[in-house]
Structure 1
């Protein structure tokens, strides 16, 4: 009973944390969106394409330095976090004599590995990027080299905050993260926009330098907030934000990161008395998967940089920024929170010492996880129905209004319309892979990595056909991404069904997460009505440069959309009510 209450408490905290992160993303992305609209007035498609390449360089450094460690640390049980005096084990305390909180200190120490990796990675990726640039790109993008150096410094600055971040995330300190990202986002927008405006007024060609300065200010903002709050938490829970030796018993870990043999006999639990061996082993086993995952995630940019011009890259970057806005607002926070939630809920999913059957608590936890996962998929299916019904017909209108007539004839509208069909796949795959990362064993992680390698080959082949053979441009790139994402979803779906079948949880099926037939029919009718009523928008059209006409057309589209949203709300009222009750923490999780 106590374990179940603890799981429900963790569930409530995680759901509220996800809500807070979503609210944060809405506010921060709204600020970023406004700043980007102003920046578009100072940018060409070619400069936007180069800035997208620099962002991939930055994200690659950050991803490889910390992603696998973050996942492994989240799967480490921190049940002693709320207590300064954990129970003794076999006559020895889980704290050394100086009273250090060993669980928190182990997490902090692991965070410094990301900082160490952040030194060679910027040099290596910078060398690769510089050797891939053409002379035409170098001549058309002022300050490109110095901007690359600034991005490297920005990555190092952000990684300095990683030890404080991981211990905050381990302690479910969502408020601190919200503050840090809000401050960092505001600083980035202010510096980026301010430097761009200054350069325009001073008649100086800054190129992509404003983006680099903005990214550096973003890292400084994150570092300042995390150090401030991390220092206070360190004093409260008695650990150090600096690396510190650990001796004695290890912090508690879950089954997924614990070796099958007794490491206390075979080898020390801490490497060099600093780094907790089981978590580090799990992180190293996930590194190969992280490499493949990042190549697939950023593969669209890699492909478009090889198979198309910088101008085409800018067109795709614009459509990707707008199309991925919802993913960054909602899907990413939900994915991170669900990964933390499932890791904690299913941390005790190990067989008992005397039998190979799950305990009653394990069965209850598995049922609760299945119910939560099914609810997430159901919510995403409803959101996907709304997106695919409303966005494809109206995407060119929205883009012409917010980005200006310069972009109307660039093909970005058609690319954004195609991206609307990719968003549902992006959402479902995010939650599915978050669950897999929470419960998969090392062997299953390696198996997933192998399959993702196969999917990367499929993705590359599809991209070559769509971009080179059929010359479909950015739209073809969206289609190639969709094929890749569908393959990953199928693999995760099979894994999830097998996992719950092993736990004795049945009843998960495709029909349980699909929208109500009435809502689905309303979506089809609404989509066709919008296609017939919304005019074609291009650079030469009568509405391309007329904001008033564009707004009128969008209001007409909204008049069609409102009845559709009402039908969805009424037909799915029971599910929506249960979701609201869950967010309030008053609904009891039911078995599927």
Structure 2
């Protein structure tokens, strides 16, 4: 029997409230990504007029350095904090004492400072390793490279300083603050990067990748300013400090807090996930590492261009969904575990488990429909779009072929992201270690495939896309086996094939892909010679796309209607 309020109306459950907030948070982050990426997109189009392929390749390497520092310093901590209620039991015991009523929030803040402690030495170590890997020709031909590296290091530290405020707001589901912070930071980065590039070009100065470095520094400073301001307000309201504060005065052996500051269970979970984080980051950024070893700087720039535009959908739509889903499934599956443990009938599946299975299947099916659209129309439309965006200087670089191939890689990115987000939400320590081992095996296969495609077959950046696709497919298969086994142990049915579009939609996709190839003409991936030809090709693609999308919507009208109702909050009972 459901709980009711004073008016006799059913009150929403905690799980339903969490689901609604997570869904709204995902929608907010998607909207944020659309706006911020649109601003970044416009700025990048201007920057492309001042960049060569070699400079773009070096800028990509610096971005990998920056992301590596952030990833190793905070990724495992973020996941561990989302999966555990740090100090919650202690908070319950101290509700009568206002000085201890927010021990849980303070524990989260304290853990955030570990990211700063890890990030500073990592920035120094990775910086020295990167400088040592550069050739004399690259250092000579790229102005201000060393200075730019130092600025990127400072930017990474500034962003990590905002981590204590970020993690406590993430646990409070304060998506509005995150939207504000990223909007301010993104706008600042675009303005500084573009202004520096235009200013130097007008004065005839060769500044190399310095505009990117200064832009990234402004991004880190913007995040820090917003999170510090909002974090200070939250700390005053909820009676905790943004500075590290002791949480225990008992003996270290009996205290749940290491060094009286850090919650031990979360530290252990973060440590166990560190190995997986290392492997995951190598696989995520392995394409850049591999292309830097096996190809020229020009090829690196071509792949970076295709990766930036091809991965736009992944960063724009899939990344915020992945992050919100990880938080949502972590909370929901925690309820599942508690319900299953306390249930008198272990064979009876819990409601949270059924909700998790239904939510995951719906999300994956939405990805399948979107993937059908991308793979049907994307390969033909991509070269024309790139010709309009990047200009004729990239026509002979092979970027069109690379971007066309990338359209088949985007669905793999999407499915892998949401599958690994779910695994990270529910996997035990032993399962995390097992996944890390398999990811290591897949990484060896990725390296071997990359060598064959890049050196033996000389496919260039296209070969790198194919190697990445093979590796991503292996990771998806592993996650699918794990997820099906997880729900089977809970007595919940989970059929992967249910995510497939209906036969009518798949048939329409097959026909549309052949028609669009014929109406575009020429070799697949070939960039048009001018803007007029590119626009004409896009018009022909749109003419094929309209009837295809209509058929797909008719075929999936039931699923689309249910998804719309769920987003409006009417798909779940109170």
Judge same fold: TM > 0.5, yes or no. Answer: yes
TM norm structure 1: 0.92
Shift of 1:486: 0.6
Matches within 5 A, 1:467-482: 467-482=454-469
The residue that corresponds to 2:537 in the other structure is 553
Distance 1:113 1:121 in 2: 12
Match of 1:47 in 2: 55
RMSD of aligned residue pairs (Cα, Å): 2.3
Q: For the structure 1 residues 539 and 365, does the alpha-carbon distance in structure 2 shift closer, same or farther, using more than 3 Å as the test?
A: closer
Q: Distance in 2 between matches of 1:494 and 1:37?
A: 42
Cα–Cα, structure 1 residues 539 and 573, in superposed 2: closer, same or farther, change >3 Å?
closer
For the 8 Å contact 2:347–2:490, the answer to whether it is kept is no
Change (3 A) 1:265 1:503: farther
* Aligned 8 A contact 2:33 2:316 in 1: yes
From 29, 39, 44, give the equivalent of 1:36.
Answer: 44
Residue in structure 2 matched with residue 566 of structure 1 by the alignment = 550
SS at match of 2:84: coil
1:232 is paired with a residue of what secondary structure?
A: helix
Aligned length: 565
> Aligned pair in 2 of structure 1 residues 272, 476: CA closer, same or farther (>3 Å)?
same
**CA 1:539–1:466: 2 relative to 1, 3 Å:** closer
Q: Name the structure 2 match of 1:255.
A: none
Show the 5 A alignment for 1:14-413. Answer: 14-77=22-85, 92-93=93-94, 98-247=99-248, 267-348=254-335, 349-350=337-338, 358=346, 363-413=350-400
Does the aligned pair in 1 maintain the 2:409–2:465 contact within 8 Å? Answer: yes
Q: Structure 1 residues 176-185 or 348-357, which shifts more? A: 348-357
In the TM superposition, residue 511 of structure 1 has moved relative to its aligned partner by 2.6
2:7 is matched with none
Shift of 1:96: 5.3
- Note if 1:527 corresponds to 2:513: yes
Conserved? CA contact 2:106–2:241, under 8 Å = yes
Closer/same/farther in 2, CA of residues 540 and 488 from structure 1, 3 Å limit: closer
* Per-residue deviation, 1:228: 0.8
Equivalent position SS for 1:148: helix
Structure 1 residues 79 and 350 mapped into 2: Cα distance closer, same or farther (>3 Å)?
A: same
Which range is displaced more, 547-556 or 575-584?
547-556
Q: How big is the shift at 1:557?
A: 1.2
The superposition leaves residues 1-27 of structure 1 with CA deviations (integer Å, 9 ceiling, x where unpaired) of 569711011001101100110000000
Tell me the alpha carbon deviations over residues 229-285 of structure 1, each in whole angstroms, 9 at most, x when there is no partner: 111111111111110011289xxxxxxxxxxxxxx9964200111000001110010
In the alignment, is the contact (CA less than 8 A) between 2:379 and 2:524 conserved in 1?
A: no
Deviation at 1:351, TM superposition (A): 7.2
Whole-angstrom distance in 1 between the partners of 2:168 and 2:425: 18
Contact 2:185 2:222 in 1 (8 A): yes
How many Å separate the matches in 2 of 1:163 and 1:309?
40
Distance 1:75 1:439 in 2: 8
User: Does the CA-based 8 Å contact 1:289-1:446 persist in structure 2?
Assistant: yes
Asked if structure 2 preserves the Cα contact closer than 8 Å seen for 1:405 and 1:539, the reply is no
TM-score, normalization by structure 2: 0.95
Retained in 2: the 8 A contact 1:409–1:538? no
CA separation of 1:374 and 1:228: change in aligned 2, threshold 3 A: same
Aligned to 1:579: 563
- Indicate if the aligned counterparts of 2:74 and 2:115 stay in contact, CA closer than 8 A: yes
Structure 2 vs 1, CA of residues 267 and 452 (structure 1 numbering), >3 Å: closer, same or farther?
farther
Alignment pair present for 1:452 and 2:452: no
1:258 paired residue number = none
Q: 1:529 to 1:271 in 2, by over 3 A?
A: same
Deviation of the 1:510 alpha carbon: 3.0
Distance 2:91 2:60 in 1: 52
Q: What displacement does 1:354 show?
A: 7.6
Alpha-carbon displacement from aligned partner over 1:440-495 (angstroms, at most 9, x marks no partner): 11111111111111111011111111111111100000011011101111110111
Give structure 2 stretches of 5+ with no counterpart: 4-10
* Aligned residues of 1:14 and 1:337 also touching (Cα < 8 A): yes
CA distance in 1, matches of 2:177, 2:81: 18
Distance 1:22 1:465 in 2: 38
For the residues of structure 1 that align with 2:339 and 2:525, how far apart are their CA atoms?
Answer: 64
- SS of 2:148's equivalent in the other structure is helix
Deviation at 1:553, TM superposition (A): 1.9
Q: 1:570 to 1:248 in 2, by over 3 A?
A: farther
User: For residue 497 of structure 2, what is the aligned residue in structure 1?
Assistant: 511
State the shift of 1:536 in Å: 3.6
Deviates more, 1:577-586 or 1:92-101: 92-101
Gaps of 5+ in 1: 81-85, 250-263
CA contact (8 A) 2:383 2:526 kept: no
Any conservation in 2 of the 1:338–1:435 contact (CA below 8 Å)? yes
Tell me if structure 2 keeps the 8 A contact 1:463–1:476: yes
| 1:10 matches 2:10 | no
User: 1:112-146: per-residue Cα shift (whole Å, max 9, x none)?
Assistant: 00000111001111111111101111111110000
Range 376-385 or range 577-586, more displaced: 577-586
**2: CA distance between counterparts of 1:485 and 1:53?**
22
- Tell me the distance in 2 between the aligned counterparts of 1:232 and 1:364: 37
